[in-house]
Structure 1
């Protein structure tokens, strides 16, 4: 064995042997606010339902545009009287997050109880500074499925987890933001500049939904199940303020948050919502425990059964799309029944997870053969501001890969990046123009088998059509329509001639050759 390889192996074994999680951990049990009707949000919703005689006790608003997505969260913080519950895969240390965290501190100072549940994977380096909130009065922070080892770098954490790499691969991917158990937000966005159109190098097209009323109780119940689970570790059991100080850098972006945005706060009036019946799908809190592998009835399993009921039209938006054989059979059944099936995903040049594209590419010709319509979003946007004007996107200028994938997928290399490049991150389904699904899940085997996810199902033709309208500029101006000619792939650009090539358009050749070499070795569920 070469000396360098031996050194790496010995280092990995040493890190594995030294790193461990605490065994005696105190996790005080707490619950969502039980009596929330006497809060400002609760009174406003109750009065609207009583005045209008709403048949449905849940109201919704889609949050596609970046400004609405960001100010909605600020507005919920400011409107909360008693509790704020946040659950995220990633809270990144950057100026926009700094403003949100400052508002959370102010809420805690006025007596609001704040609970933050964060997946542990991204809490290294500068991002570890977010954990300082755990030492602020009235704020509790817990880390889900923590990895042992140093927080100085992600590479070091992964080395420290080599003894249990299977568990390290399993991540809590849920995303909820709840005020007073009355109004909440769920969807695809994490907290960070790239999700709100403020990234200097990278941003994402994304989608959230703001929910109010009865359905929020189900969102809070899901939060409580994760918060009180044995996989949730209070930050204080894992590191101290002194350890955080040792990681702090002089240019910490949380020390220079964006100034208070000049945009008007989001109008949380119930009259501005679309009221409709809804259902929440959420994975069990212990899904990502390794001994739970193979359990049925996950969020993606439920969506597969739901998709099979489509009668006329199924529209899917999934940034990482690795269908697997069960989903392929659903598509085949739908196509035999004459159902139109459309899928919008990332091109290789646009994705921040190149290996996920390898998994998708394995199914591409089969999907096209059965009549599934495939669209791949381009990295270079042709639609300009039209996408933002239509309210469909959390994008501005996009480039660099690697803010988030559905789990520990690694950033890509190769291919040039520039300030006008974009990456799809929204996760939505529309069935028969009448049922809308918005959630944290990707339609891939990682979301189905390894990560925990959440999804909101809303029976509303109005919202379903809004979601389709939001995606329309991307389909028409910013995506390749895929085709087959004599068994070969063809990329149909909206503003140019068809592209016929053995390689993926706009992506670097080095990356493509690398993926061709390593792609066949990786199973679908690991992509």
Structure 2
């Protein structure tokens, strides 16, 4: 019966897709669409210096030459630069693109058509026009918003190529009917996403980490920004990055944009569209970033912070992850667990989503059972700071397990951290620009409407207010008790014994192990590991994070309360016990409490006050739904 209903549903959905003109292009039509794009491509190179493609001088790009020259096959040398601040991460990317002499390879999960996205696209196209080979690989589910944008990019220049990873139904974007269809027919393939991120310049300098190409990652969103982290590495490891990128680029599931069905139809119907984008929402801020990217003093200062290091590894999944011969234990997630399990004294782990795979849980349980168990300290999001409250609900479900069975010391990021490396001035400046532009646009539109109204109505006043680009939705940030620019943690980093530092894309979650492709840089250098540890510990300072610790025991039958909580937690679906083992605590400084303390310190209760399970959150509907997903959502862990 169920199978028959599902079959009927698939037939209905297939009919909808066909009726909507969404049949797959034939090979011949795809070839003709590609021909339209190729014929339209500009082949003029605006540089008379082919030796370096008129590349700009750059201290960041020079790090690659210096590292390669100092390296020997048995003694590689590298430079590593932590990019903690969003504007610095964007500045480094633009500068490196301008400094490219031969090639630029860019791989990312999200590439938005906002200010940050368009600025980077403009720079990539300028590099192509001066003679640099540019290749861009994006994931379908979070790629550029419009098929016309992909058509324009694929037709723009002979030195620029764009491919889309794992395009379901061979389209650049998916409608809701198609998404539902994919969920029913092709669940595993739908969930296989390219979460890997890389910017590689001249096979000499690479940047990877948590950041995508969207305003939120560079302190350019007026409402919600990510506290994130990238690492720039220069030296021989760049060749490993190139090898992995080549595997993705040449994979059968990476499709040239012009051969996608919706893009191909547009090319066949209308020809190659012009490459254009709407005006920047905050043009002054964009201009300032563009100018700073060519400021030698500014770039020299950034490059001076790069650390000389020795052994660097690039660990990355292959594009056909978990398919056939690639379905082995030696994926990026397993190698990451091997690094963590090697800890002798301490593991610092920073992840936005504390939902662990079964393998990770068994590993941490075993590590905690050692005679001299290493201390495991976690920096992660609170419900108030996260962009994914459903995922947080599953983390909330297992806090007793995390504290008691794994020995975790958990610090949850506050939505308004006082000393995190966030550029509030850049956010404020952009918000003012966007507000002024929105008001001007609204005023102009209203003026046009006034002209069309009867004379007696034309004098009516119009009030406008700019609310930003944020929206609602089931997985949007929860409402808070006060207003302000909210910051959410998005960095994915690990430090082991202050001797190994890891920066990458893996959230240490089931999705990263099972579905997503991931990448990371592993640096075996004590100096770098200490610098990364200091950065993570900064996010755990009392002004930036709450501490998760056991709540005070109930005076009435505390053992029964704990036992019922544990039994309810073990249930696969119906976790309904309302009183949780742990809650959030905030540090209260004073004469007897001059510094923050770990939760197992004898003085912890004297220096910390409980602030509830969901501090800063305006509970309402989202508080209720968090508890609902805690109760019913355990089975969703692998895909969230």
* TM, length-normalised to structure 1: 0.84
Instruction: Provide the rounded CA distance (Å) in 2 between the counterparts of 1:191 and 1:150.
Output: 21
> 1:49 and 1:169, CA in 2 relative to 1: closer, same or farther beyond 3 A?
closer
1:374 pairs, out of 407, 410, 426, with: 410
**8 Å CA contact 1:205, 1:394 repeated in 2:** no
**8 Å CA contact 1:352, 1:402 repeated in 2:** no
Structure having the higher Rg: 2
- Output aligned runs, 1:261-340, within 5 Å: 261=289, 262-263=291-292, 264=295, 266-267=299-300, 272-287=306-321, 295-337=328-370, 338-340=373-375
The residue aligned with 1:483 is 549
**8 Å CA contact 1:198, 1:396 repeated in 2:** yes
Q: Secondary structure at the match of 1:56?
A: coil
Moved more, 78-87 or 412-421: 412-421
The residue aligned with 2:475 is 411
Instruction: Provide the rounded CA distance (Å) in 2 between the counterparts of 1:74 and 1:516.
Output: 43
Q: Secondary structure at the match of 1:498?
A: strand
1:259 aligns with 2:287: yes
**8 Å CA contact 2:148, 2:266 repeated in 1:** no
- Output aligned runs, 1:213-232, within 5 Å: 213-232=235-254
Structure 2 residue runs of 5 or longer lacking an equivalent are 1-7, 35-50, 432-466, 554-561, 563-580, 590-607
> 1:51 and 1:502, CA in 2 relative to 1: closer, same or farther beyond 3 A?
closer
Shift of 1:103: 1.2
1:353 aligns with 2:388: yes
Instruction: Provide the rounded CA distance (Å) in 1 between the counterparts of 2:190 and 2:134.
Output: 27
> 1:292 and 1:127, CA in 2 relative to 1: closer, same or farther beyond 3 A?
farther
Instruction: Provide the rounded CA distance (Å) in 1 between the counterparts of 2:225 and 2:507.
Output: 18
**8 Å CA contact 2:387, 2:477 repeated in 1:** no
Shift of 1:356: 1.5
Shift of 1:332: 2.0
Instruction: Provide the rounded CA distance (Å) in 2 between the counterparts of 1:328 and 1:471.
Output: 22
Instruction: Provide the rounded CA distance (Å) in 1 between the counterparts of 2:69 and 2:161.
Output: 35
**8 Å CA contact 2:383, 2:614 repeated in 1:** no
Shift of 1:102: 1.1
**8 Å CA contact 1:313, 1:339 repeated in 2:** yes
**8 Å CA contact 1:185, 1:211 repeated in 2:** yes
Q: Secondary structure at the match of 1:203?
A: strand
Structure 1 residue runs of 5 or longer lacking an equivalent are 1-6, 28-34, 404-408
The residue aligned with 1:197 is 219
The residue aligned with 1:69 is 89
The residue aligned with 1:364 is 399
1:106 aligns with 2:126: yes
Shift of 1:494: 3.2
> 1:126 and 1:414, CA in 2 relative to 1: closer, same or farther beyond 3 A?
farther
Count of residue correspondences: 503
The residue aligned with 2:138 is 118
Which whole-Å deviations, capped at 9, do the CAs of 1:371-406 have from their partners, x for residues lacking one? 21011112132x1xx3228x9x99958999989xxx
1:146 aligns with 2:172: no
Q: Secondary structure at the match of 1:185?
A: strand
**8 Å CA contact 1:434, 1:461 repeated in 2:** yes
Instruction: Provide the rounded CA distance (Å) in 1 between the counterparts of 2:119 and 2:614.
Output: 43
Instruction: Provide the rounded CA distance (Å) in 2 between the counterparts of 1:400 and 1:325.
Output: 40
Q: Secondary structure at the match of 2:520?
A: strand
Which whole-Å deviations, capped at 9, do the CAs of 1:280-323 have from their partners, x for residues lacking one? 1111210165x689642221111112111100000000101211
Instruction: Provide the rounded CA distance (Å) in 1 between the counterparts of 2:249 and 2:94.
Output: 23
Instruction: Provide the rounded CA distance (Å) in 1 between the counterparts of 2:355 and 2:174.
Output: 29
1:508 pairs, out of 595, 619, 631, with: 619
**8 Å CA contact 1:170, 1:288 repeated in 2:** no
Q: CA RMSD in A?
A: 3.9
> 1:413 and 1:463, CA in 2 relative to 1: closer, same or farther beyond 3 A?
closer
1:526 aligns with 2:634: no
**8 Å CA contact 1:319, 1:425 repeated in 2:** yes
**8 Å CA contact 1:374, 1:482 repeated in 2:** yes
The residue aligned with 2:461 is none
**8 Å CA contact 2:583, 2:613 repeated in 1:** no
Moved more, 118-127 or 72-81: 118-127
Q: Secondary structure at the match of 1:209?
A: strand
Instruction: Provide the rounded CA distance (Å) in 1 between the counterparts of 2:399 and 2:266.
Output: 48
> 1:166 and 1:293, CA in 2 relative to 1: closer, same or farther beyond 3 A?
farther
The residue aligned with 1:406 is none
The residue aligned with 2:454 is none
Q: Secondary structure at the match of 1:330?
A: helix
2:500 pairs, out of 427, 432, 435, with: 435
Instruction: Provide the rounded CA distance (Å) in 1 between the counterparts of 2:26 and 2:238.
Output: 34
**8 Å CA contact 2:151, 2:258 repeated in 1:** no
Instruction: Provide the rounded CA distance (Å) in 2 between the counterparts of 1:22 and 1:242.
Output: 8
